[in-house]
Amino acid sequence: MKVTREQVLAHRVAAQWDEQVLDLGVQDTGPDGGLWALAVRGVDVAALDPGELATVWTLRGAPHLYRRADLPAVAAATAPFSDADAGKRIFDAARPLKAAGIPNLVALDTVADAMRSIVTAPMVKGEMSGRLTEVMDPPYLRFCVPCDAIHIHEQSFRLAALRAGLELQPGTSPPVLEPIPGFAPAAAVPERFDVVRAYLRLLGPATPKLVGGFLDAPVKDVRAHWPEDVVEVDVDGEQRWILAADADRLGGDPPAGTRLLGPFDLFLQARDRPLLVADRAHAADLWRTLGRPGGVLANGEIVGTWRARKAGAAVTVSVELWSPADRAAVAEQAERLAAFRGLTLKCLDIT
C-alpha cells in the first residue's frame, strides 16, 4: 500500500482530533500546554470536572495530562520496557549506577520508595529534592553546576515520581508534588494505553526507530513490543507500519481548518520531522531547543509559526507564515488563544 506524506498528515490530524490523545498523554509544558491542546481539538476544558485530569511526569520526563481514572494504566504503560530501556531514559544517571552494580530498574524503585516516604502531603519540588538528597547513596547523586549543589539526577527524579504515586499540582511553578489518592499501578498494560500502539494509532505510519525516539527507548525494546496486527505501507518510498485497523483510514482528505498548535503539541512531537516540515530553516525555528514557537496548522499542513507575548492583561501574537493561509482564520485563533489565557488580544502581527 502506497501513501503520500499529505495523506499521512491528513490521517494524523483526523486521528488526533479528539480526547483520545489523552491515551498517550498530552504534554503540559508552558502556558499553552495540555489544556490548550485539548481546547484546539474541540474539548470544552471549562466544563471539565475539577480533578478529572491529572498531571504526572511520564514520557521523556515531561509533564503530561491524563484522565485521573487512567493513571494506574498509564503508570504501567509508560514504565521502561527493560533495564536497558530504563538506563537509556535516565541518561547520564545510568553510568554511576552501573559502576556501583545497581540495576537501573532497581534504582528507580529505590528512588520511588524514598519519594513515597517523603511526600505525604503537598511539597515543593526543591524541598522534596533536598530531603531526597539526604537519604540517597552517592551513586544516585550528582553535582549540578547551575544549582551549585548536589542532588539526584533529574531524569531519575522525574521518572520515579509516578512509580512513587505522586502527581503534580496543576499550574504550579516550581512544581508541587502530592500523593495520588488510592494509587496503585495496573498489573498489566491495557491495549488502549500501550505506548507503541498509541504512537502508531496517533502518529503513524511509523517505524520502530521513530517510536523509540519518541519514548527515549532502545529500538530493540520497541521491536520486542511491536504489535502483530500491523500492515506495511510505503510512504513516499519508505517502509513503515500502521495498525491494521487504521489502514483503511489512510488516503482521506486533510481536515479543513486552521489551528494554533502549542509548541509541544502531539502533532509536532512526531519524530519524522522532515515529513512534517521539509524546509530545514523552518524546521530549525519550529523545533529550536529554547524559545520554541507554536505551529500554525492549516488544512493538514504546518504553514508557519507563532509566538505570544503577555503584557499585563493583554497578549500580542506574532505569526510568521511560510505558505499562504487564511489570515481571518489565523486572527480568529489568536482571539481564541487570548480568551483561553483570560487576556485580551492587544495586537496580531502576521508576516
The answer to whether 244 and 229 have CB atoms below 8 angstroms apart is yes
- Mean pLDDT of all residues in the chain? 95
User: Does 176 lie in the same domain as 264?
Assistant: no
Task: State which of 153, 180, 207 marks the end of a domain.
Answer: 180
Q: Is residue 190 part of a domain?
A: no
pLDDT tens by residue, 279-307: 999 999 999 999 999 999 999 999 999 99
The model's pLDDT over 2-39, given as tens digits with 9 standing for 90+, comes to: 999 999 999 999 999 888 999 999 999 999 999 999 99
Residue 253 pLDDT more than 80? Answer: no
Determine how β-strand 314-321 pairs with β-strand 344-350.
parallel
**Strand order through the sheet with 230-235:** 2-3, 230-235, 238-243
Q: How far apart are CA 294 and CA 264, in angstroms?
A: 8
With beta carbons less than 8 A apart as the criterion, state whether 169 and 175 touch.
Answer: yes
pLDDT digits (tens, 9 = 90+) for 168-206: 999 899 999 999 999 999 999 999 999 999 999 999 999
pLDDT of residue 186: 96
Question: In this structure, is residue 305 part of a structural domain?
Answer: yes
47 belongs to a structural domain: no
Q: Which of 117, 148, 180 is the last residue of a domain?
A: 180
Question: Residue 254: what pLDDT?
Answer: 74
Looking at residue 286, its pLDDT comes to 97
Mean pLDDT throughout 255-262? 92
pLDDT at 277 over 80: yes
User: Which pTM value belongs to this model?
Assistant: 0.95
Which single residue is written with the C-alpha cell 498509564? Answer: 74
Would you state the pLDDT for residue 223? Answer: 98
Dump pLDDT digits (tens) for 320-332: 999 989 999 999 9
**Domain shared by 172 and 262, yes or no:** no
Q: How many CA atoms lie within 13 A of 334 on its CB side?
A: 25
Q: Is the pLDDT of residue 251 over 80?
A: no
Structural domain of residue 340, as residue ranges? 258-350
Model pLDDT, residue 197? 98
pLDDT of residue 271: 97
d(CA 162, CA 68): 13
55 contacts 30 by C-beta, under 8 angstroms: no
Residue 63: beta bridge partners? 57
pLDDT band at 255 (very low <50, low <70, confident <90, very high): confident
* Residue type at position 297: L
Residues 84 and 172 in one domain: yes
The last residue of a domain, from among 157, 180, 203: 180
pLDDT at position 149, please? 85
pLDDT, position 18: 86
- Mind listing the pLDDT tens digit for each residue in 125-157? 999 999 999 999 999 999 888 778 899 999 999
3-state secondary structure the chain: CEECHHHHHHHHHHHHCCHHHHHCCEECCCCCCHHHHHHHCCCCHHHCCCCCEEEEECHHHCEEEEEHHHHHHHHHHHCCCCHHHHHHHCHHHHHHHHHCCCCHHHHHHHHHHHHHHHCCCCEEHHHHHHHHHHHCCHHHEEEECCCCEEEECHHHHHHHHCCCCEEECCCCCCCEEEECCCCCCCCCCCHHHCHHHHHHHHHCCECHHHHHHHHCCCHHHHHHCCCCCEEEEEECCEEEEEEHHHHHHCCCCCCCCEEEECCCCHHHHCCCHHHHCCCHHHHHHHCCCCCCCEEEEECCEEEEEEEEEEECCEEEEEEEECCCCCHHHHHHHHHHHHHHHCCEEEEEEEC
pLDDT given for residue 129 in this prediction:
94
pLDDT in tens, 59-116: 999 999 999 999 999 999 999 999 999 999 999 999 999 999 999 999 999 999 999 9
As for how many domains the chain has, the answer is 2
| φ and ψ at residue 82, rounded to 5 degrees | -155, 175
Residue 270 lies in a domain: yes
Q: 314 in a domain, yes or no?
A: yes
